Chains A and B, each alone.
Chain A
Amino acid sequence: AQSVTQLGSHVSVSEGALVLLRCNYSSSVPPYLFWYVQYPNQGLQLLLKYTSAATLVKGINGFEAEFKKSETSFHLTKPSAHMSDAAEYFCAVRASGGSYIPTFGRGTSLIVHP
């Protein structure tokens, strides 16, 4: 069984500041990990994914995440927030070798202040 915990239902940053969204996972087998973004009134779209290659994964719109097995974490970062980054962000995990059914976290709403 796998699970995901996203710390903080809301994160507020100023434009130009560092964005850090936290995700910790639990998995009994090596995990595949994902970050999805949901803009208002839209469906989710993939930001980036880790599937056992490089531990530092770069995604779209300047986001990146680092897989840390020792900390069971996959935190999402962006050096400088932009107003257009305001959205809901979901971390997801699925067990490698299993069915293509990820388990999603509860989401973190990113608020960007001018």
Chain B
Amino acid sequence: NAGVTQTPKFQVLKTGQSMTLQCAQDMNHNSMYWYRQDPGMGLRLIYYSASEGTTDKGEVPNGYNVSRLNKREFSLRLESAAPSQTSVYFCASTPNTDTQYFGPGTRLTVL
């Protein structure tokens, strides 16, 4: 049981490049989330998915898109990366019991 996995762990992009952050969970959880963490800002919700086939915007969705490919996988795409998107990105899931399970994070730098 791997829990929540994220790939890649680290990434450096140039402004304007695109990339997809991958997230998968093997706990059969319904809800999945993408957060970004910036110093002094806590965690801010980018997008979430309450169930397979549904996605909704969070607090800071601009510049991002998501896909809930199936119950296990929830990807985050940056179409045209900007320096303001330099951050640590966390994926999380929950079986709707109020405990969120977090992945180890992806550290993204946009030059």
Contact = CB atoms under 8 A, between A and B. Distances in A.
Interface stretch (A12-20, A37-45, A61-69, A73-81): A37-45
B105 A34 contact: no
A49 B104 contact: no
B42 A100 contact: no
A42 B42 contact: no
Contact of A34 (B50, B96, B98, B102): B98
A101 B40 contact: no
A72 interface: no
B13 interface: no
A99 B4 contact: no
A100 B98 contact: yes
Main secondary structure of the interface of A (DSSP, over half): loop
Contacts of B100: 36, 44, 46, 102
B94 interface: yes
Give the one of B48, B92, B98 with max A CB within 10 A: B98
Contact of B40 (A32, A45, A106): A106
Contacts of B90: 43-44
A90 interface: yes
List the 5 closest pairs (A to B, CB-CB), nearest first: A43-B102, A106-B42, A104-B43, A104-B42, A44-B102
A77 B96 CA distance: 27
B99 A46 contact: yes
